[in-house]
Structure 1
Amino acid sequence: MKKDGHIHTPFCPHGSTDSFEQYIEKAIEQNFASISFTEHAPLPAGFIDPTPDQDSGMKAALLQPYLQELRTLKELYQDKITIHIGLEVDYISGFELETRHFLNEVGPFLDDAILSVHFLKHDDAYCCIDFSEEVYLNFAKQIGSIRSMYDLYYKTVRKSIDADLGSYKPKRIGHPTLIHKFQLAHQEQIDDAAQIKQLLRYMKVAGYELDVNSAGLSKPLCKEPYPPFPFIDFAKSIELPLVFGSDAHTAQDLHQHYSIIFP
């Protein structure tokens, strides 16, 4: 069964205005049986988004309209495709309690959810490490090295798995090698194979799914999926559940590279 479990929407403040219907009709046309809309959830109360436009998450006031529109579309298209109502929830170190409260409120209305790390904390300040090449490289300088940034990223993903976020905590970890997004910009060979395998094993033991995210293949300074191909194979070998995700922010990018990931 063809499924795309990581799709953004017109409710994304840094995405496109492509309509839900454009995504849905394309999915039907390409014979996908199931899709999950996983818009960036509103960021925790009290967290200040470090990106210039503070547009990393959906505005809280738009959450209910988002859920309602998807409920309507889910029913409208039920005979053609299975639509899951979901969110991509940020794990932000230090905001576990706020995230748990949010999930307790919204969880009963969701069919699916992803837990992702986009923000790293250093010296009580946060950085959105996938925002831009410049932000990424500057953050590495702040914490001492590219290697230190990689280490902090994997440590934070592991913390997201360990975090007590309540009974509605997402059970799929989003793009767990997102730290590779600008890997061709830093001119260093970072051997993180052991860390990736350790993380995937940890996810398996903890009962999580892996977001096999194809978006990195389209990023000019990444050129590989998250995680890279050898680790997709490794995940299969340890029977870690895999869910393809295009991480599409436009209808054009929907299901991008699916046939390469799952030939």
Structure 2
Amino acid sequence: MKKDGHIHTPFCPHGSNDSFEKYIEKAIAHNFTEITFTEHAPLPNSFMDPTPNQNSGMDPNSLLPYLEKLSYTKKQYENHIIINIGLEIDYISGYEKETRNFLDEVGPLLDDAILSVHFLQYNNHYTCVDFSEEVYLQFAREIGSVKDMYHLYYETVRQSIDADLGTYKPKRIGHPTLIHKFQHALDTQIDDDLLIKELLLYMKEKGYEMDLNSAGLSKTLCKEPYPPFHIIDFAKSIHLPYVFGSDAHTARDLHQHYNVIFP
């Protein structure tokens, strides 16, 4: 059974206009039996998106059309492929209450969801740490060191696991080593294996599953999946549940590197 559990859509404000049907037809052609569309959920109303275009999350006015379109499309293809209606939910430290309220409202309409960390809080402001190489390097300088940045990222992911986000809180942690996205822009490489393994063990202990995310292999300054191959082996060794996710923002990238991850 082949599943891709992390797919974006034409409703992504920083993605492509490729139609749902284009993704679905490609998935069927590549013998996938199940997919989950996980568009970036709208960010909390009181949160100021720090990216230049403020387009990290879906426009709140697009949420209902997104859900309605997926519900219709799911029925259209029900004899050909399992389609799950999902969202990628941002965990943002300090915005747990707003996120819980959102999930209480939309959760009953979802089949699946991912909980991800993109924003890190430091000195009373937030940075989208995976936005660009320049932002990444500047944040490392601001916080003191790359090692400190890595520690903050993994600690924030751990906070997302501990956070009370209500009944409909996602149980899959998105791209758990996203902090590696621009690692080859650094002067030296940081050995964070112990931090990652501790995080995965904590996910296992708390009953979470991992988004085994292949997108990093397409990033020229990352060159590895999230998490890297040897950590995937570790995840398997501790029997941490995982779901492959291509994190595709275009139909072209759908299922990217699946055959590399699962040769």
TM range (shorter): over 0.9
Q: Structure 1 CA distance, aligned partners of 2:145 and 2:98?
A: 31
| TM-score where L is the length of structure 1 | 1.00
Please give the alpha-carbon distance, in whole angstroms, between the structure 2 residues aligned to 1:188 and 1:177: 17
SS in structure 2 of the partner of residue 184 of structure 1: helix
Q: Which residue of 2 aligns with 1:259?
A: 259
What pairs up with 1:181-220 in 2 under 5 angstroms? Answer: 181-220=181-220
Q: Measure how far apart 1:242 and its partner are.
A: 1.1
Offset, 1:116: 0.1
SS at match of 1:31: coil
Give 1:3-82 correspondences, 5 Å limit.
3-82=3-82
Runs (4 or more) in structure 1 with deviation over 4 Å come to: none
Distance in 2 of aligned mates of 1:140 and 1:262: 33
Aligned to 2:140: 140
Matches of 2:224 and 2:134 in 1, distance apart?
A: 20
Q: Could you tell me how far 1:170 is from its partner in structure 2?
A: 0.2
Amino acid at match of 1:37: F
User: How far 1:85 moved relative to its partner?
Assistant: 0.1
Aligned-residue sequence identity (percent) comes to 72
Q: CA deviation at 1:187?
A: 1.6
In structure 2, distance between residues paired with 1:162 and 1:187: 33
Residue by residue over 1:61-93, the C-alpha shift from the partner in whole angstroms, topping out at 9 and shown as x without a partner, is: 000000000000000000000000000000000
In 2: Cα distance, 1:242 partner to 1:101 partner: 27
Shift of 1:43: 0.2
Q: Count residues in correspondence.
A: 263
Q: d(CA) in 2 for partners of 1:240 and 1:155?
A: 19
Unaligned runs of 5+ in 2: none
Calculate the TM-score normalised by the size of structure 2. Answer: 1.00
Q: CA RMSD in A?
A: 0.4
Q: CA deviation at 1:186?
A: 1.0
* Distance across 1 between alignment mates of 2:240 and 2:203: 8
Distance 2:102 2:188 in 1: 39
Deviation, 1:189, is 1.8
Q: 1:88-167 counterparts in 2 under 5 A?
A: 88-167=88-167
Question: What code does the residue aligned with 2:4 have?
Answer: D
Unmatched tracts of structure 1, length 5 or more: none
